[in-house]
A and B are shown apart, each in its own frame.
Chain A
Amino acid sequence: MSTTEKTVPNEAGREAAIAKPRWKIWLIRPETVTFLLLIVSAIVASHLSPFFADAGFILESSTYYVEFAIVALVLTLVIISGEIDLSPAAMMALTACLFGTAYKAGAPVPVAMAVSLLSGLALGAFNGFFVTVLRLPSIIVTIGTLILYRGLAQVLAGDKSIGSFPAWFVGIDYRMVGIFPVPVLIFIAVSILLGLFLSITIYGRQIYQIGTSETAAIHAGIRVRRIKMGLFLASGLTSSIAGLMTTSRLGSVRYDLATGGELTMVLIVMLGGTYIFGGRGSILGTFLAAWLLVIIATGMTVANIAINAQLTVMGLLLIVSIIATNWIYARSQR
């Protein structure tokens, strides 16, 4: 990039403003802020407790958040495309209850898992149908399906927990590959896959275009409905994978599995600097934000702040992060 102060004629022969130097563009990106916060919180946390010098401790205590973070990766794409999905936590609960019900009815675990994954796709398709075919706003549709799915989970499981799964299925958070628990590895793998999908495939670029201007995207011949439908399907499928991970970690399912998860998921996406009005955001930001949240939450737990009081911090974080993201985008070039 040239950084001279003169204007240069562009191809059309008109005077064009000099592009900002690349380092400046990189510096004022929300992801950069997320990364800096991550560094700062890690330093603060390591002063709180010697545990934090131990990466293994962080990785072990991250499995609860990683379940939501995996869904947050897909939610990032949904929000970039200008929609929102508030139902994944309820989908986690319903698909997990279907898994438990199928297993209790005598299905072997792999079959029950297939039931769960297929039902996740079906629930996602149901959301997508209302949003893309009936063209209803995703905010209210997914509030409706959030209640519906959580309610159906209640119908299936009542107020009892379904458990006694075989030993090999339980305790995914204790299965290690090197120093990494399996859920963390899955999260890293999904991050890389979706990150590549979003940044180097045509579909990824199209998701950004839909979020920037849906009308323009339609005129450019982008199959907006098909892509949005795909995103809602992905959201359902990922939720069922996350639900299975939660089931494995807890060793049983209840209808209130992942209660309040919608907040955690939206929080991770917003912390990662995805623009709530669509068109901007990145998987890298969401990936970093997930670890930021893990460190903050673990730090609060180590500092003996009760889980219930931690809700206060989570709510504040959500509001502050969205204000900061909007402020950064308002001041940087598109």
Chain B
Amino acid sequence: MSVVARLFRAREAGILVMLVLFVTVVGLIQPRFLTMDTVRIVLLAVPLIMVAAMGQMMVLVARHVDLSIGSILGFSAIAAGMVFRDRPDLPLFIGFAVAILCGAGLGFVNGLVVTLFRLPSIIVTLGTLSLYRGLLFILSGSKQIDPNDIPEPIIRMAQTSPIGMPWIVIIAFGVALATWLFLTFTQLGRQIYAIGSNPVAAPLRGIRVMPVTILVFTLSGALAGLAGIIYAARFGYVNPGITGVGFEFTVIAAVVIGGVSINGGVGSVAGTVLGVLFLGAVQVALPILGVSGFWQNAIYGGIILIALVIDRTVRQGGLRGLLARGAA
């Protein structure tokens, strides 16, 4: 058992160490990074990813993957934006409800197709990624929702709140807390882990795999829908061709870095939150270090691969197990 393996035995401890190391190193190079201002910028950068990452984490724990959340985010944001634009007389929560319900509906379709036909979720959601993006172009008539169409209170959610933290940050951590309560204290939450750990044994223990799996995809969609509203608040516009494109990969990066195993059955809210914060820290650190923002995706991709290798090392019991040659 090597030191590295022991360090990463507890996944959350591992990602926490990585985060602290990263912040320390960047802080040594550029002390400006270690200010409250940075904390504020990071917190503003992460709500979008964090809300969707909670859903993606549950999907991965159930041993599936959801590639369509970027398109669901775009679809929900456009739908809510059109409500705001065309019916300014309606109360604001209607827009919220529209976004979350659209997301839940699209997520439900994902879950239904995956479970009904027993298909691999990666292919189904690759299909719906394209399908939902096409639908949102048709829905919006390829027109963007402009800043002056989005109500002032929605925009203000990204800037103010009664307790000094912008509303979207409060929403994001509220979603994380709710997810933690759901996964820890409800029977349904435990069943998601059971399905992911052993899909064969789960039905034998009386778990109804199909409805639980559909629920997981529906939740993932609903949270992507909520992220759509946060997008509108944070960026002040919604564009059918831009909003949410490539978003799924950022979220998967956060979740994988947070120690959620894609083999199912393993993952925690704490780890996912740390993974999201890590991505946010990278995003904010690049300009401060004077590194081009073009590096962001390359770094995300690199971190995913490193996280996978570390995860593998832990499960193999150290580096020797990692490189042990198989029979072939």
Contact = CB atoms under 8 A, between A and B. Distances in A.
A323 interface: yes
Nearest to A136: B308
Contact of B126 (A136, A140, A158, A262): A262
Dominant SS among interface residues on chain B: helix
Given A140-B256, A225-B328, A316 B127 contact: yes
Contacts, number: 158
B305 A141 contact: yes
Nearest to B68: A315
B123 A276 contact: yes
B278 to A, nearest CB: 15
Interface string A295-316: 0000000000010111111111
A108 interface: no
B304 to A, nearest CB: 4
A161 interface: no
B240 interface: yes
Nearest to A221: B328
A166 to B, nearest CB: 28
Contacts of A309: 134, 137-138
A314 B130 contact: yes
Interface string B114-156: 0001111011101111111111011000100000000000000
Interface residues of A, number: 56
Interface residues of B, number: 50
A225 B327 CA distance: 9
B177 to A, nearest CB: 28
Interface string A209-229: 000000001110011111000
Contacts of A277: 120
Contact of A223 (B133, B137, B328): B328
B319 to A, nearest CB: 11
Interface in B153-185: none
Contacts of A84: 122
Contacts of B249: 143, 146-147
10 closest Cβ contacts across the A-B interface? A148-B301, A315-B131, A312-B134, A151-B298, A151-B297, A311-B134, A147-B301, A315-B130, A318-B127, A308-B137
Given A84-B122, A315-B132, A319-B131, 7 more contacts: A147-B297, A219-B327, A226-B328, A267-B127, A311-B131, A319-B123, A322-B127
